[in-house]
């Protein structure tokens, strides 16, 4: 396998290579995230509109009727939020999977194709969704516990998408593989995640400020602004994945010498 990466990269090199790859393939990598952001932003408007439709509970309404209306409203809000959450999760997994596959093909010096990246992502979608849900639950429980366990879990399983998309790993295998790769560089992985999510957060905050005048549609505007920088997350982690693989190769013991000729 020919790789552009022949050694472990520093954080600076990882980010530099990620931004370079993104800038050189902007349209291909931006489009999946843009579509995902438009879908997520548009469906977020449904939640806002539904939340604004809370029934008026005046003093003339009996407590029983008021409770029934409030209960119906809460069930509806929960249902809308659940549907939007599922749709957002699916489109996000597809977009990130496409970016990882596309970036990996470039790093491995293959011919990248959006169609092939999309098809392979759809093929691995169940694994991507299952692994993402497992990590989200574990991280949520970790953050509830003492915060620190949640951070550790997030770092530990930060390369599951790369393991699934590049190594064709299953759900449990991807969790194990990510943990093994990250174990080589815990603090480095944490620092990389912190930097890229800070960058994405700052751009997202600027986008929300820009979208404020648009009322309920501010979420769509903010999502579009975030889409410009969002590909950096999967691309950077893909470079980090290959960097950790190089580190793993360096740690392997050398092969034994050939037996002497008799």
Domain residue spans of the chain: 11-248
pLDDT value for 54:
66
pLDDT value for 255:
64
pTM of the model: 0.84
Tell me how many degrees the CA angle 179-235-36 measures, rounded to the nearest 5.
105
Shortest CA distance to 165 belongs to which of 87, 95, 244?
A: 95
Which residue stretches of the chain have pLDDT < 50? 1
Per residue in 19-54, pLDDT (tens digit) is: 999 999 999 999 999 988 888 777 777 776 766 666
CA pair distance 181, 221, nearest whole angstrom: 37
pLDDT value for 1:
46
Tell me how many degrees the CA angle 109-113-118 measures, rounded to the nearest 5.
125
End-to-end C-alpha distance for the chain, whole angstroms: 35
pLDDT value for 164:
95
H/E segment holding residue 222: helix 218-229
Shortest CA distance to 233 belongs to which of 205, 199, 204?
A: 199
Per residue in 77-102, pLDDT (tens digit) is: 777 778 878 888 899 999 999 999 99
pLDDT value for 55:
65
Contact assessment for residue 112 and residue 102, using Cβ atoms and an 8 Å cutoff: yes
Buried b (16+ CB within 10 A) or exposed e, 222-247: bbbbbbbbbbbbbbbbbbbbbbbbbb
Shortest CA distance to 115 belongs to which of 105, 129, 130?
A: 105
Query: Dihedral (C-alpha) 134, 138, 139, 143: value to the nearest 10 degrees?
Result: 160
CA pair distance 135, 150, nearest whole angstrom: 10
Contact assessment for residue 125 and residue 94, using Cβ atoms and an 8 Å cutoff: yes
pLDDT value for 157:
93
């Amino acid at each position: 396998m020919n790789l552009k990466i022949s050694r472990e990269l520093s954080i600076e090199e990882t980010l530099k290579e990620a931004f370079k790859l993104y800038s050189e393939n902007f349209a291909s990598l931006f489009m999946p995230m843009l579509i995902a952001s438009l879908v997520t932003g548009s469906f977020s408007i449904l939640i806002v509109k539904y939340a604004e439709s809370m029934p008026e509970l005046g003093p003339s309404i009996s407590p029983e009727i008021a409770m029934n209306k409030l209960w119906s409203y809460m069930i509806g809000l929960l249902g809308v939020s659940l549907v939007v959450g599922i749709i957002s999760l699916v489109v996000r997994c597809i977009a990130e999977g496409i970016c990882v596959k596309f970036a990996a093909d470039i790093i491995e010096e293959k011919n990248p194709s959006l169609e092939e990246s999309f098809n392979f992502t759809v093929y691995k979608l169940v694994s991507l969704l299952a692994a993402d849900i497992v990590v989200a639950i574990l991280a949520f429980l970790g953050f509830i516990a003492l915060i620190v366990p949640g951070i550790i879990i997030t770092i530990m399983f930060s390369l599951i998408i790369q393991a699934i998309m590049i190594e064709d790993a299953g759900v449990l295998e991807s969790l194990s593989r990510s943990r093994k790769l990250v174990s080589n560089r815990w603090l480095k992985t944490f620092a990389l995640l912190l930097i890229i999510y800070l960058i994405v957060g700052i751009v997202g905050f600027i986008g929300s400020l820009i979208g404020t005048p648009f009322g309920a549609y501010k979420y769509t505007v903010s999502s579009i602004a975030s889409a410009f920088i969002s590909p950096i997350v999967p691309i950077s982690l893909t470079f980090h994945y290959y960097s950790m693989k190089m580190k793993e190769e360096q740690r392997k013991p050398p092969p034994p010498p050939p037996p002497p000729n008799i």
